[in-house]
C-alpha cells in the first residue's frame, strides 16, 4: 500500500464522490473443478499440502491484485481516483478496496463500482500464473449502490459466479475462466432471473453474459469506443435496442446520416439488427470502466 493507503472500513469510503458516484462492486470468485483436483490426492498429507497451496495462491493473487490497483491509481490509468478518495483516521487515503473473505478457493471483496471488472480479471490472471495453469476460477460481479442491502448483494454476486461456471461447463472450456456481471440500478432486491427477464426482445435474450476473459476484454474495447458517443445518442441506442427491427433500422439510418459516430462490432457488410442483442452488455460496460486522467 506504499504507506499511502488504508483499506476502506465503510462502504461510503469506497465511493469516489459521496452521493454522486456511490456504486460499489461486490466480487465473488470461486475455483473451478476443485473436487477433481483434490480427488488426485492419495492421502491426507497430500490433501493438506494441496489445500495449503490453493489458499496461499489466493492470498498471493489478492496481494498482487492490490499492487496492480495501487500502481494504476498512483502512476497509470486511474489517477482520477487520487483526487476524490476519502481519508482514513490515520491521514492516509482509503484504498477503494476491502477484502471480505479469503479462504480456500473462495474470495469475496468489495471495491469502487468501476474497479470490479478489471480487478476480477487481474485476480483471475494472477491465479492462472501462480497455479501454473493447474486450476482456474470464475467470478461474479454485482455492481450496486453502497446503500444496497449487502447480504442481497453478496447473494447476487454468488448467483452471477454460478452462472459463469454453468457457461464454462456448457461451452466445455475447461482451461478458461468466465465472468458474469450485473449493474443494478434499482433499490429492489429481485433475484438475477427476474432482472434478466427484462433483457428480452421478441422472446430472445438481449445479452450474451457470462464471458470468458478474452471475450470480456473485447467487449470492454467496444465499450470504450461507444463512450466516444454523446450520452444522448447512447441513451437512444439503449432504448431502441428493445424495439423491433424497423425501429432499429431507422435509428441506424439516422446515425449513418450524421457520419461522425462509429459502431462497435459492425463490419462494412453488416447491419445493426443482427448483432443488436450484444449492445445492452456493451452499454452496461460503459458504466463499469475506471476513469483515467488527473
Q: Of 33, 58, 29, which is closest to residue 139 (Cα–Cα)?
A: 29
Q: Is the pTM of this model over 0.85?
A: yes
The structural domain count of the chain equals: 2
Domain boundary, last residue among 190, 214, 245: 190
pLDDT at 268: 55
133 and 61 part of one domain:
yes
The reply to whether 146 and 215 lie within a common domain is no
Which spans in 146-294 are helix H?
A: 150-171, 192-197, 213-226, 231-240, 245-258, 272-275, 279-286
Task: Indicate whether 105 and 124 sit together in one domain.
Answer: yes
> Which CATH number do you get for residue 174?
3.30.70.270
163 and 274 belong to one structural domain: no
Same domain, 149 and 32: yes
The beta-carbon contacts of 230-236 under 8 Å, at least 24 apart in sequence, are 233/261, 234/283, 234/286
Domain stops at, among 163, 190, 217: 190
Looking at the structure, do residues 53 and 148 belong to the same domain, yes or no?
yes
Walk along the chain (294 residues) in steps of 10 and give the mean pLDDT of each run: 81 69 90 84 88 90 94 79 74 88 91 94 94 90 92 95 95 90 84 89 90 94 92 93 91 88 72 85 92 58
Domain end: 169, 190, 211, which one?
Answer: 190
Residues 180 and 203 in one domain: no
CA dihedral 258, 259, 264, 265 (to 10 degrees): 110
Predicted local distance difference test score (pLDDT) of residue 294: 47
**Within a 10 A sphere around the Cβ of 49, how many other Cβ atoms?**
12
Residue whose grid cell is 470504450: 224
- pLDDT value of position 2: 64
What local confidence, expressed as pLDDT, does residue 89 receive?
Answer: 73
Identify whether residues 63 and 172 lie together within a single domain. Answer: yes
Q: Are residues 113 and 240 in the same domain?
A: no
Query: Which domain range does residue 269 map to?
Result: 199-294
Same domain, 57 and 172: yes
pLDDT at residue number 267 = 62
Amino acid at each position: 500500500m506504499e504507506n499511502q493507503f488504508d483499506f476502506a472500513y465503510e462502504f461510503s469510503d469506497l465511493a469516489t464522490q459521496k452521493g454522486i458516484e456511490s456504486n460499489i462492486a461486490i466480487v465473488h470468485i470461486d475455483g473451478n473443478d476443485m473436487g477433481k483436483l483434490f480427488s488426485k490426492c492419495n492421502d491426507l498429507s497430500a490433501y493438506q499440502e494441496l489445500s495449503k497451496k490453493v489458499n496461499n495462491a489466493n492470498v498471493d493473487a489478492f496481494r498482487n491484485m492490490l499492487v496492480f490497483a495501487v500502481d494504476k491509481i498512483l502512476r497509470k490509468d486511474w489517477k482520477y481516483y487520487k483526487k476524490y478518495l476519502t481519508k482514513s483516521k490515520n491521514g492516509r487515503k482509503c484504498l477503494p478496496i476491502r477484502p471480505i473473505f479469503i479462504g480456500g478457493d473462495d474470495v469475496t471483496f468489495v471495491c469502487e463500482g468501476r474497479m470490479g471488472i478489471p480487478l476480477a480479471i487481474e485476480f483471475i490472471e494472477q491465479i492462472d500464473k501462480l497455479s501454473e495453469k493447474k486450476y482456474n476460477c470464475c467470478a461474479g460481479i454485482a455492481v450496486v449502490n453502497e446503500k444496497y442491502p449487502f447480504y442481497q448483494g453478496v447473494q447476487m454476486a454468488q448467483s452471477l459466479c454460478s452462472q459463469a461456471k454453468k457457461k464454462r461447463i456448457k461451452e466445455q472450456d475447461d482451461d478458461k475462466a468466465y465472468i458474469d456481471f450485473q449493474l443494478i440500478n434499482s433499490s429492489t432486491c429481485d433475484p438475477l432471473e427476474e432482472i434478466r427477464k427484462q433483457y428480452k426482445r421478441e422472446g430472445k435474450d438481449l445479452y450474451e453474459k457470462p464471458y470468458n476473459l478474452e471475450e470480456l476484454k473485447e467487449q470492454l474495447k467496444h465499450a470504450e469506443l461507444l463512450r466516444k458517443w454523446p450520452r444522448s445518442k447512447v441513451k437512444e441506442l439503449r432504448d431502441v435496442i428493445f424495439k423491433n427491427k424497423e425501429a432499429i433500422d431507422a435509428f441506424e439510418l439516422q446515425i449513418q446520416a450524421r457520419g461522425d459516430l462509429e459502431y462497435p462490432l459492425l463490419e462494412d457488410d453488416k447491419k445493426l439488427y443482427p448483432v443488436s442483442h450484444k449492445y445492452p452488455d456493451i452499454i452496461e460496460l460503459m458504466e463499469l470502466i475506471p476513469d483515467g486522467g488527473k
